[in-house]
């Protein structure tokens, strides 16, 4: 595999938050009174009222990113550090481990409010809005965000799903102490530039079957548990507006219909590897990925399960208005659900 280049700290994808802005954010975070875990809608309403008070540069960069005008597919906000001690990293899945103040929840919610609506998926971690991501021994080698010894290959988030999130937000509570866990990403626009029109045409055809039985989560398709499914929906990898295309990409879960489709997928993967950057996320980093305009991956790393492992907090965000069913989506993965 071609090694991804290190992200240049002066790149347009990086914004280092100055100390005064961090102070302002801490003040705003401390003004909220609602409970982000037990009453998220009320908490988010409170957070929204603070958006106009965000420092101008942060607000501008977020709205440029939301408009997709930078074409970068990722925005890394650095320096958003918590004050005081971060509790030990959990080693077992738990419901919302409590960090002491609500700074991470505030930062994540205010970023999300600038981009769209935070959403949860009923079948993923019980629909949690704030999802803690840390290595879990049992899943060390699994295709899972809880893995560590396994390299989590390039993908778009929830590529198997009819409605993947438009954005993925990864806030870092604690970086990998060894610095070996690297998050990689590549902008769709840069990747597609590398490919010939016949490859793009192959990727645009519904010639990839989502292998639903490989999913770990308790989804249903046509009323049957997905683990019992031997066929899945046929999707295209490349879609959306031809002038601003989007990817649905997860080779581990996609079965090409024929060799031409398989070859196009391999070419895409090679192009992603050529155009990717990597960053070792550190405490206080918030990485926003545009899930249509970027793919991402994470290298393997060593987990020790001693309270000092890498610990991220993750959120899924949609640009659409919430439908009547609300913030927590329930989905049937039947073929007819896919656009
Ligand atoms: O741990 C990371 O850096 C990214 C993991 C990932 O792909 C995810 O949480 O969606
Ligand atoms: Fe991911």
Which residues, in sequence order, are bridge partners of residue 152?
298
Does the annotation list 216 as a binding residue? Answer: no
Alpha carbon of residue 63 to chain centroid: 18
Mean pLDDT of all residues belonging to the chain: 94
Mean pLDDT for 225-242 is 91
Among 3.60.130.10, 3.20.20.20, 1.10.8.60, 2.60.40.3880, name the CATH number for the domain at 12-86+94-337.
3.60.130.10
pLDDT tens digits, 78-91: 999 999 899 999 98
**Element of type H or E holding 75:** strand 74-78
Which among 74, 133, 282, 297 is the best mutation to test ligand 1's pocket, defined by most ligand atoms within 8 Å of the CB? 133
pLDDT of residue 96: 61
The secondary structure of residue 13, as a DSSP letter, is T
pLDDT tens digits, 52-110: 999 999 999 999 999 987 778 999 999 999 998 999 999 888 766 677 779 999 999 99
Interhelix angle 259-275/197-204, rounded to 10 degrees, is: 110
Q: What is the pTM of this model?
A: 0.96
pLDDT of residue 99: 73
Cα–Cα distance for residue pair 126/55, rounded to 1 Å: 35
In our burial notation (b when 16+ CB lie closer than 10 A, e otherwise), range 273-297 reads bebbbbbbbebbbbbbbbbbbbbbb
pLDDT tens digits, 321-330: 898 889 999 9
Cα–Cα distance for residue pair 103/5, rounded to 1 Å: 31
Which among 314, 315, 317 is the best mutation to test ligand 1's pocket, defined by most ligand atoms within 8 Å of the CB? 314
Q: Which atom of ligand 1 is nearest to the CA of 310?
A: 1
Cβ-contact 128, 222 below 8 angstroms: no
- 313 pocket-lining for ligand 1 (C-beta < 6 Å): no
Between the alpha carbon of residue 285 and those of residues 17, 175, 289, 334, 337, the distances in Å are 10, 9, 13, 37, 35
- 148 pocket-lining for ligand 1 (C-beta < 6 Å): no
């Amino acid at each position: 595999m071609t090694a991804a280049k290190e992200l240049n700290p002066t790149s347009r994808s990086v914004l280092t938050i100055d100390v005064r802005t961090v102070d302002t954010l801490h003040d705003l975070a401390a003004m909220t009174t609602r409970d982000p875990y037990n009453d998220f809608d009320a908490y988010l309403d409170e957070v929204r009222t603070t958006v106009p008070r965000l420092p101008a540069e942060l607000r501008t960069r977020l709205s440029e990113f939301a408009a997709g005008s930078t074409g970068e597919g990722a925005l890394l906000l650095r320096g958003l550090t918590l004050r005081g001690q971060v509790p030990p990293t959990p080693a077992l899945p738990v419901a919302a481990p409590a960090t002491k103040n609500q700074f991470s929840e505030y930062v994540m919610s205010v970023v999300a409010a600038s981009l769209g609506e935070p959403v949860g998926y009923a079948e993923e971690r019980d629909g949690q809005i704030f999802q803690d991501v840390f290595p879990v021994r049992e899943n060390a080698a699994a295709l899972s965000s809880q893995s560590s010894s396994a390299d989590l290959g390039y993908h778009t988030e929830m590529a198997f799903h009819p409605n993947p999130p438009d954005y993925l937000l990864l806030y870092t509570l604690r970086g990998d102490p060894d610095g070996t866990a690297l998050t990689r990403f590549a902008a769709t626009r840069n990747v597609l530039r590398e490919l010939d029109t016949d490859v793009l045409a192959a990727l645009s055809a519904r010639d990839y079957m989502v292998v639903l039985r490989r999913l770990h989560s308790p989804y249903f398709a046509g009323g049957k548990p997905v683990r019992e499914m031997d066929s899945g929906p046929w999707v295209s990898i490349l879609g959306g507006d031809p002038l601003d295309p989007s990817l649905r990409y997860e080779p581990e879960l996609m079965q090409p219909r024929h060799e031409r489709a398989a070859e196009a997928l391999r070419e895409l993967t090679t192009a992603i590897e050529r155009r990717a950057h990597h960053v070792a996320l550190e405490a206080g980093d918030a990485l926003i990925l545009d899930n249509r305009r970027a793919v991402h991956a994470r290298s393997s790393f060593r987990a020790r399960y001693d309270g000092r492992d890498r610990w991220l907090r993750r959120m899924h965000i949609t640009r659409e208005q919430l439908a009547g069913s609300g913030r927590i989506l329930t989905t049937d993965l039947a073929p007819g659900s896919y656009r």
